[in-house]
Amino acid sequence: MAAKKITGQSKLAQSTETKADSNERLDLVAPSKKALLKAYRLYGDDIARLKEITASMNKESHRHISETAAIRALIALGASTTGEKLLKALRETI
């Protein structure tokens, strides 16, 4: 029987090298949106109204609603209303 030539690498070592080189990308979790920080100045009465809105939302909800979440909800409501109604509300606050 002829002797095999010894190359110094086993078949197992070759198979693990090819798996490491493939760099398979798995998208298991979608990347989340990053919040952009934006600061606004509110008057005292605006803050009081925001607290009232947040308190009324917390009464209706089974979990705690933050003021930031309330602002996001108000922005969503404002996006679905007309500009005329928004201007009327703005005039009432001035």
Per-residue pLDDT of the chain (94 residues; tens, 9 = 90+): 667 776 667 776 666 555 555 566 766 777 778 888 889 999 999 999 999 999 999 999 999 999 999 999 999 999 999 999 999 988 988 8
Give the alpha-carbon dihedral of 36, 39, 40, 43, to 10 degrees.
140
pLDDT at position 34, please?
Answer: 84
pLDDT at position 36, please?
Answer: 87
pLDDT at position 18, please?
Answer: 56
pLDDT at position 19, please?
Answer: 54
pLDDT at position 32, please?
Answer: 78
pLDDT at position 87, please?
Answer: 93
- The DSSP secondary structure of the chain, one letter per residue, reads -PPPPP-S--HHHHHHHHHHHS------SPPPPPPPP------HHHHHHHHHHHHHHHHH-SS---HHHHHHHHHHHHHHS-HHHHHHHHHHH-
If one counts every other C-beta atom within 10 angstroms of the C-beta of residue 81, the result is: 10
